Amino acid sequence: MTYPLLEARDISRTFSPHEDLIGKVVRTALRQPIPAHVRALSNVSLALHTGEVLGVVGESGCGKSTLGRILAGILQPSSGSLAFQGTPFSAMDPLTRASTFLKIQMIFQDPMSSLNPRKRVSDLIAEAPLVHGLLDPKDRDRFVHDALTRVGLDPQTQSRFPHQFSGGQRQRINIARALAVNPEILICDESVAALDVSIQAQILNVFMALKEQGDLSFVFISHDLGVVEHLCDRVAILYLGQIVEVGTVDALFQAPQHPYTQALLKEIPRIGAGKRRFNPIRGEIPSPLSPPSGCPFHPRCPHSTPECTQRMPGLQEVGHEHLAACHLLHGTPSHSLTELSK
């Protein structure tokens, strides 16, 4: 049996507001209610396969960055589990768990805040492989030279500090730093969103080149469906912490099934679309502090029925490797996303 490279099983994550002792005493004295918990993710199941680029798409606040951090081991899920090649992280001993999480590296949106401004680029790149015993100190210079060349940066710049680079160059340094520990998975969280459009294209080309080399798998988190269509093999659409549709890029872009996906796709600017007016999705994403009952999309859905306000739709198979959660669809109920993506 072949297992996915990385698999999230029924991951949920809630955040509780921090309350110190004084705050608790004041709240109790004033008879104020206990602060509500934020449910950022609800029962999310996903599988990433070797060599695959999996896109995770949704509006701001839908939980996609939380999901990325959980997949990278930076955040713990409140419930559910994460498995690497079929072995749950919870079943690994601490050393194995740490070395396995080293195979999963994350690249963040803001390239400057991800880099220590006091360190030279050579130190930033060589630090992790030296600490983890992956690099012999005597090979350091050649290693940094090769790492910078791989991401299209001039190796002569290795003694500079991060502030001496442009935004796009800093993101290349972040990519070089992530690749320095020989990862198997890169989690890219809006990694091109903060860059100018021309620089975005350069960084996307770096990702495309890494993808073509075939020894890396990606989780590409973005709100930009145009970029996702260009780069990804499969896409999961996240709405208010839940997956509402997942499928191959071809299936999802040519025959979107969920009304939310359909609305998102209508908003992609296309050359030749003329001066058509855009029809934004009505309303705003509801607060995760008080999510709507039933289908989370019902307050904004043009097809909402009374059933939608009462009952949560489950994911169902609507095509080959294509699942969606909507009462209007009549596919085969599915309880496991990962089963279908094998």
Which positions touch ligand SF4 (CB under 6 A)?
258-259, 295, 297-298, 301, 303-305, 308, 313, 326-328
The per-residue b/e assignment along 259-282, b for 16 or more CB within 10 angstroms, e otherwise, is: bbbebbeeeeeeeeeeeeeeeebe
For residue 219, give the nearest of 48, 35, 32, 27 by alpha carbon. 48
What's the closest the beta carbon of residue 298 comes to ligand SF4, in angstroms? 4
Pairing of strands 217-222, 185-189: parallel
C-alpha neighbours within 13 Å on the C-beta side of residue 146:
9
For residue 61, give the nearest of 227, 242, 229 by alpha carbon. 242
CB contact at 8 A, 193 and 221: no
Distances (CA, A) of 100 to 2, 97, 186: 18, 5, 13
Backbone angles phi, psi at 198, to 5 degrees: -65, -35
CB contact at 8 A, 125 and 177: yes
**Closest CB to ligand SF4 among 195 and 244?**
244
Residue 333 structure tokens: 């109920």
**Closest CB to ligand SF4 among 298 and 322?**
298
What's the closest the beta carbon of residue 251 comes to ligand SF4, in angstroms? 18
C-alpha–C-alpha distance, residues 275 and 213, integer Å: 40
Rg (C-alpha) for the chain, rounded Å, is 22
